[in-house]
Chain A
Amino acid sequence: MRTSTGQIGTIKKVLRHIGRYKWLVLASLILSAATVLLTLAVPILVGRAIDGIIGAGQVRFDVVWPLLWRIGVCVALTALGTWVMNVVNNRVTFDVVRDLREEALSRIHRLPLSYIDAHPHGETVSRVIADADQFADGLLMGFTQLFSGALTIVFTLAFMLTQNALITLVVVCVTPLSLFVARFIATRTYAMFRAQSETRGEQTAFINEMIGNLKVVQAYGREAAETARFDGINERLRECSLRATFFSSLTNPCTRFVNAVVYALVALAGALAALAPGSAMTVGMLTAFLSYANQYTKPFNEISGVVTELQNAVACAARLFELIEAPVETPDAPDAAPLADVRGAVAFDHVYFSYVKDRRLIEDFNLSVEPGCRVAIVGPTGCGKTTLINLLMRFYDADAGAISVEGRDVRDIPRRSLREAYGMVLQETWLKNATIRENIAMGRPDAPEEEIIAAAKASHAHGFIRRLPNGYDTVVGEDGGQLSQGQKQLLCIARVMLCLPPILILDEATSSIDTRTELKIQSAFAKLMAGRTSFIVAHRLSTIREADVILVMREGRIVEQGDHDSLLQKGGFYAELYNSQWCSE
């Protein structure tokens, strides 16, 4: 449960975002004031016109006709003003939400990888999409109704005061009750809305996981079982949602009841005053008062309705702000100079690292790689090879010790410059939902056509690309769409081929490519690797054998280090791995 200070903090942030559109907001407020005044004027004009209709043969057409014209003009102006105001409000709302989404996305690109790895993607998506949407709805309602409602109250109050101060006082004293009731309900529903929003996030995460892996779900005949689990969350959401929807919808009837009481009190006070001997109160005045009391309390209803919407909006905004304000990666040092003339020297100096504080992973790791060196990292699966890549690319920072490139601590190099020095092909291929061409040219978006095709040819992707319906302009679709794992991997290799960075990281780079194609790629890689430092995580010993240094990893540590022959002779873990390749069948 959140305290109201949390709410106020969120509201302040929202206001800061709206601040950018202060001129539009001002225009909206002026238009709102104008339309409220015009709207209130129409009944008065009509009343005067009716006053001109005295009785049969006594109608003063000379008074009534011009009044009707004036009403017409007022109405036309009100309508125009309302429309423009609505458009302005839409603009402010949608622009604020657009800005928030942009901030969220720009933040996502600067979040540490640890955040992205630790938070279910579906939940983050729900913040950017669903929460932002709900926030927009609430904000729009707030905009269109809050201010005009308040103005209506002020203006009506002024009209009433000119009529009878005593009854006005009765009205003024009782109506805060309606605000009190609204507030009472609102503070309670805020927690319910937050619970609803959290359950919704949980469900979105579940949907994201299951729908993203629908094929596995079906392969295991888990449709019914997963639907049952889904129903569990769904049921909780239904309950949360029912509670939030119902309790928030109580505001309106409750305030309406308070208004009914106000109405009754005005009728009572007015009638008793009229009964009192020598009173100036007339039936006509009472009628006027009653209609004013209605006029005055109506916006209270609207406002309380808006308040519940705003509650929901604030709860959603709070979740969105949590994302926008999540701590970013430690920024690059201001004096960090980009790398120049990278030759490919990389060193690890007493590096310690772990993902979870109490589960030690990489400890006291030392390695010095000369330019042009080929480093092969081998070991049983799950021994921490991928972790090394996380550190090299600075996806994660070392807990202690230093990693350096060209003798410079990587923390003193701007990330962009550091990453530019690397070319990476990960085991988990990821392609953008864009054309093949855009995917290959990811590292160099301005690369000319010939070079893109040359890179595709070098990675032997050109053949299958040409056979696709639209060749290089084929859109690959979400998550790589219809491409096979191997085809995706070829594209990832082409991506690196185009950049020719001085240091290469190849993680299981060819695991899904048939060996014939792989041979072709390797020949291309051989060209690419010539004179370049490379880190190769691969399981094929034939690839690894070529390496200058082989790092044998086990449980996060480097247990052996050396070249193929010396390691084999040593008869240690590497030799065991190597020999078991065939013998264990």
Chain B
Amino acid sequence: MLKYLKKYRVQCVCAPLFKMFEALLDLFVPLVVASIIDRGIAAGSAGHVWRMSGLLVALGLAGLAAAVTAQYFAAKAATGFAADARHALFEKLTSLAFSDVDRLGTSAMITRMTSDVNQAQTGVNMALRLLLRSPFVVLGAMIMAFTIDVRCALIFALVIAALSAVVAVIMAANIPMMQGVQRQLEAVLGATRESLAGARVIRAFRREDAEYQAFRAKNRELAARQLRAGRVSALLNPVTYVLINLAVILLVRRGAIRVDSGALTTGQVVALYNYMSQILVELLKFAALIITINKGWASWKRVEDVLALTPSMTALDEMGGAPSEGAPAVAFEHVTLTYPGAGSPALEDIDFAASRGQTVGIIGGTGSGKSSLARLIPRFYDATSGAVRVNGVDVRDWPKDALRAKIGVVPQKASLFKGTIRDNLRWGDPDAADADLIEAAAIAQASDVLAAKGGLDSEIAQNGGNLSGGQRQRLTIARALARRPEILILDDSASALDMATDARLRGAIAGLSYRPTVFIISQRAASIMRADLILVLDDGRVVGKGTHAELLKTCPIYKEIYDSQFGGEAPLPDAAATGNHPVRAIDSSANRLCGDPEKDNGEVSA
């Protein structure tokens, strides 16, 4: 926490100082009043009364100036601190490895950045304003008490020690409870997000009531936890009150005895009592402050948890090896990947190489590891064993930005961001000219999206909400192409496109002048069958490697996939372009679909 306050050390020192100055001025007031009584009234001087009253107003003015300054410094430090903390959090979150992001969860990250930072901000603000003031007044009053009567003042010392102990115990009990409250708040936030994101499905399945009930249960638990935590923190105030007044009773008792024996005067007892009252007032404020600071601290702990995370993957700042001209663009050397917490590997012993400008098709069943394979190239995850090399250099020896700048990734989930289409496409290349963006859009078959929406300047809503799935997908492809990548990865990113658009897209990519190495991951044999190298994945292993023609002969799984889409007597890819065969192919596939579904099912699983 100090790290983030350090930047505001001037404010952090000045705010309490000015506060203490104001408190000091307060301590003068009784002296001035005493002067009014002793030298004004007793001496019958109206002039002195006027002067002293003026002094009181002046003290008030000086106090006002000091307090305003203190408030400004405190507000400046607290809001600056919160802004810096949010910045640090955002930066930290963007630097985390994908596996860390998976583990943290979106809701947790959002609450840390919003609600938790807000609580910490309030805590810092109050602490700067009041944390030092109260102990200062308490200490001052105690010192005054000692100057009056040591034996009575010992009661003060005793009571302050007892209070510290009580406050410490209550705080220790309260902080974990507060953390529990924040955790539950996270659950409530998660449920709220879900109700919004899943609105269509929830309504389609008429689950509004059930979802509401589930939210209600979480929300009630939150209120219950808040109540439990509140019950404990509500003890602070009364306990303080009891202890202080116990001290007052003891003080009056002892004072009475000591006055009776002539060791003290009545006036001194009154003075002691006044100091005790002053302490009480300050401590009550202090107790309220402690609750706020407690809350802030609990929240800050949770913020710190995130800030303290070390990304489970670190990247070098400079190249750890020299890229070689002759090396394959991408090479996998006996790569195995096991996700953290997963029982079995997602990829096992993957070994292949793709030369520059080649197109690699990756095909396989759902969950066969196609996407996992693609994620290793830009080093979204690290291989558990083996190595992934780009231009002959292990991806772990590449600076992260240099590696990723070479690669255009189009993920399965087409996500765009609030802003203009231009803003979104420039993600690929911040310096791209409009002409480049329009060209990238044309290759991505997204020209009509631009036309329909009104050009590069048209606004995209949050998460691309005002675009259809297919429009989003084509814009994400254009985004990847805008950077003219050396390596282009299309992770099943044509799934929302119709066959015709998909085919035109592949044709356009094949004709790119800068000849990127292209990885196409698809469920459709048609999308990959013209690739230079096809990898067939099954359950995380490569079960077929080669060209379309080779695989049809050597890889039963590939043949099965192909047949399921084209029917038994399939044309070779070269023949496919003639336009006659495909109709036949579709017909035969359709015939199969029209046939007995039971039989169909049996065939496939056989």
**B447 part of interface (Cβ distance < 8 Å):** no
**B336 part of interface (Cβ distance < 8 Å):** no
State which residues 591-606 of B face A: CB under 8 Å.
593-594, 597-598, 600-601, 604-605
CB contacts (< 8 Å) of A520 on chain B: these are: 601, 604-605
State which residues 197-216 of B face A: CB under 8 Å.
197-208, 210-212, 215-216
The segment from A4-12, A152-160, A485-493 found at the interface with B is A485-493
Check if A245 sits within 8 Å of B79, measured CB to CB: yes
Q: Is the interface of A mostly helix, strand, loop or mixed?
A: helix
**A364 part of interface (Cβ distance < 8 Å):** no
Check if A271 sits within 8 Å of B40, measured CB to CB: yes
Check if B189 sits within 8 Å of A523, measured CB to CB: no
The segment from A14-22, A44-52, A161-169, A342-350 found at the interface with B is A44-52
Interface string of B561-572 (1 = CB under 8 A from A): 100110000000
Interface string of A80-111 (1 = CB under 8 A from B): 10110011001100110110011001101110
Give 15 A-B contacts (CB < 8 Å), ordered by A residue. Answer: A46-B273, A59-B260, A102-B215, A125-B110, A209-B417, A227-B90, A246-B76, A250-B71, A253-B71, A256-B63, A260-B56, A430-B198, A469-B343, A581-B503, A585-B506
**A130 part of interface (Cβ distance < 8 Å):** yes
- Given A213-B417, A484-B366, A116 and B241 touching (CB < 8 A)? no
**B368 part of interface (Cβ distance < 8 Å):** yes
**B347 part of interface (Cβ distance < 8 Å):** no
- Given A57-B260, A432-B198, A484-B366, A98 and B499 touching (CB < 8 A)? no
Check if B380 sits within 8 Å of A83, measured CB to CB: no
Check if B499 sits within 8 Å of A541, measured CB to CB: yes
Cβ distance A23 to chain B, nearest Cβ, rounded Å? 17
The answer for the CA separation of A545 and B203 in the assembled complex, in Å, is 31
B235 contacts which of A83, A216, A231, A513 (Cβ < 8 Å)? A83
The answer for the CA separation of A16 and B37 in the assembled complex, in Å, is 52
Check if B597 sits within 8 Å of A523, measured CB to CB: yes
B497 contacts which of A80, A125, A216, A381 (Cβ < 8 Å)? A381
Q: Contacts A245-B79, A522-B600 given; 11 further ones with Cβ under 8 A?
A: A68-B252, A82-B237, A126-B114, A128-B188, A207-B114, A221-B404, A267-B33, A381-B497, A393-B204, A514-B366, A585-B577
CB contacts (< 8 Å) of B46 on chain A: these are: 272, 275
The segment from B101-109, B348-356, B386-394 found at the interface with A is B101-109
CB contacts (< 8 Å) of B107 on chain A: these are: 478
CB contacts (< 8 Å) of B503 on chain A: these are: 580-585
Check if B197 sits within 8 Å of A46, measured CB to CB: no
CB contacts (< 8 Å) of A378 on chain B: these are: 498
Check if A419 sits within 8 Å of B204, measured CB to CB: yes
Cβ distance B292 to chain A, nearest Cβ, rounded Å? 9
The answer for the CA separation of A215 and B200 in the assembled complex, in Å, is 25
B212 contacts which of A68, A106, A116, A499 (Cβ < 8 Å)? A106
B411 contacts which of A215, A230, A539 (Cβ < 8 Å)? A215
* Top 3 A-B residue pairs of the complex, sorted by shortest distance between their CB atoms: A381-B470, A260-B60, A486-B366
Check if B241 sits within 8 Å of A75, measured CB to CB: yes
The answer for the CA separation of A124 and B207 in the assembled complex, in Å, is 20
Check if B111 sits within 8 Å of A129, measured CB to CB: yes
A43 contacts which of B227, B277, B471 (Cβ < 8 Å)? B277
**B433 part of interface (Cβ distance < 8 Å):** no
The answer for the CA separation of A98 and B226 in the assembled complex, in Å, is 11
Cβ distance A512 to chain B, nearest Cβ, rounded Å? 6
CB contacts (< 8 Å) of A106 on chain B: these are: 212
State which residues 316-373 of A face B: CB under 8 Å.
none
Check if A478 sits within 8 Å of B105, measured CB to CB: yes
The answer for the CA separation of A487 and B412 in the assembled complex, in Å, is 13
Check if B462 sits within 8 Å of A205, measured CB to CB: yes
Check if A219 sits within 8 Å of B380, measured CB to CB: yes
Q: How many of chain A's residues touch chain B, expressed as a range?
A: 35 or more
- Given A82-B238, A265-B53, A271-B49, A512 and B79 touching (CB < 8 A)? no
- The chain B residue with its CB closest to the CB of A580 is B500
**B283 part of interface (Cβ distance < 8 Å):** no
A53 contacts which of B269, B473, B499, B605 (Cβ < 8 Å)? B269
The segment from A233-241, A398-406, A447-455 found at the interface with B is A233-241
Check if A129 sits within 8 Å of B188, measured CB to CB: yes
CB contacts (< 8 Å) of B179 on chain A: these are: none
Check if A514 sits within 8 Å of B53, measured CB to CB: no
CB contacts (< 8 Å) of A581 on chain B: these are: 499-500, 503, 526, 582, 586
CB contacts (< 8 Å) of A200 on chain B: these are: 114, 118
Check if B129 sits within 8 Å of A90, measured CB to CB: no
- Given A98-B222, A102-B219, A113-B199, A223 and B498 touching (CB < 8 A)? no
**B242 part of interface (Cβ distance < 8 Å):** yes
- Given A393-B204, A484-B371, A543-B593, A86 and B237 touching (CB < 8 A)? yes
Cβ distance B245 to chain A, nearest Cβ, rounded Å? 4
Check if B498 sits within 8 Å of A577, measured CB to CB: yes
The answer for the CA separation of A445 and B342 in the assembled complex, in Å, is 29
**B230 part of interface (Cβ distance < 8 Å):** yes
Check if B60 sits within 8 Å of A519, measured CB to CB: no
- Given A52-B256, A582-B576, A523 and B462 touching (CB < 8 A)? no
Interface string of A242-284 (1 = CB under 8 A from B): 1001100110111011011101110110011011000000010
Cβ distance B197 to chain A, nearest Cβ, rounded Å? 6
**Candidate in A53, A134, A381 with the most chain B CB atoms within 10 angstroms:** A381
**B549 part of interface (Cβ distance < 8 Å):** no
CB contacts (< 8 Å) of B114 on chain A: these are: 126, 129-130, 200, 203-204, 207
**A76 part of interface (Cβ distance < 8 Å):** yes
- The chain B residue with its CB closest to the CB of A225 is B430
- Given A78-B241, A217-B94, A585-B576, A420 and B206 touching (CB < 8 A)? yes
- Given A46-B252, A120-B462, A543-B593, A395 and B36 touching (CB < 8 A)? no
Cβ distance A343 to chain B, nearest Cβ, rounded Å? 20
Interface string of B451-480 (1 = CB under 8 A from A): 010000000011101011111011000010
- The chain B residue with its CB closest to the CB of A43 is B277
The answer for the CA separation of A298 and B196 in the assembled complex, in Å, is 47
Check if B64 sits within 8 Å of A50, measured CB to CB: no
Check if A249 sits within 8 Å of B71, measured CB to CB: yes
Check if A133 sits within 8 Å of B196, measured CB to CB: no
**B320 part of interface (Cβ distance < 8 Å):** no
The answer for the CA separation of A543 and B50 in the assembled complex, in Å, is 99
CB contacts (< 8 Å) of A290 on chain B: these are: 33
- Given A129-B115, A249-B129, A585-B503, A395 and B200 touching (CB < 8 A)? yes
Check if A381 sits within 8 Å of B468, measured CB to CB: yes
Check if A101 sits within 8 Å of B579, measured CB to CB: no
**A180 part of interface (Cβ distance < 8 Å):** no
Check if A245 sits within 8 Å of B64, measured CB to CB: no
Check if A130 sits within 8 Å of B118, measured CB to CB: yes
B203 contacts which of A79, A249, A257, A393 (Cβ < 8 Å)? A393
Check if B367 sits within 8 Å of A484, measured CB to CB: yes
State which residues 462-483 of A face B: CB under 8 Å.
464, 467, 469, 477-479, 481-482
CB contacts (< 8 Å) of B344 on chain A: these are: 467
- Given A105-B215, A116-B199, A86 and B230 touching (CB < 8 A)? yes
- Given A264-B53, A267-B56, A577-B500, A94 and B203 touching (CB < 8 A)? no
The answer for the CA separation of A434 and B342 in the assembled complex, in Å, is 19
Cβ distance B450 to chain A, nearest Cβ, rounded Å? 12
The answer for the CA separation of A546 and B241 in the assembled complex, in Å, is 82
CB contacts (< 8 Å) of A130 on chain B: these are: 114-115, 118
CB contacts (< 8 Å) of B366 on chain A: these are: 464, 484, 486-487, 490, 512-514, 517
CB contacts (< 8 Å) of B576 on chain A: these are: 582, 585
**B27 part of interface (Cβ distance < 8 Å):** no
Check if B412 sits within 8 Å of A515, measured CB to CB: no
**Candidate in A200, A260, A511 with the most chain B CB atoms within 10 angstroms:** A260
**Candidate in A55, A82, A125 with the most chain B CB atoms within 10 angstroms:** A125
The answer for the CA separation of A53 and B78 in the assembled complex, in Å, is 50
The answer for the CA separation of A272 and B367 in the assembled complex, in Å, is 92
- The chain A residue with its CB closest to the CB of B201 is A430
CB contacts (< 8 Å) of A79 on chain B: these are: 238-239, 241-242
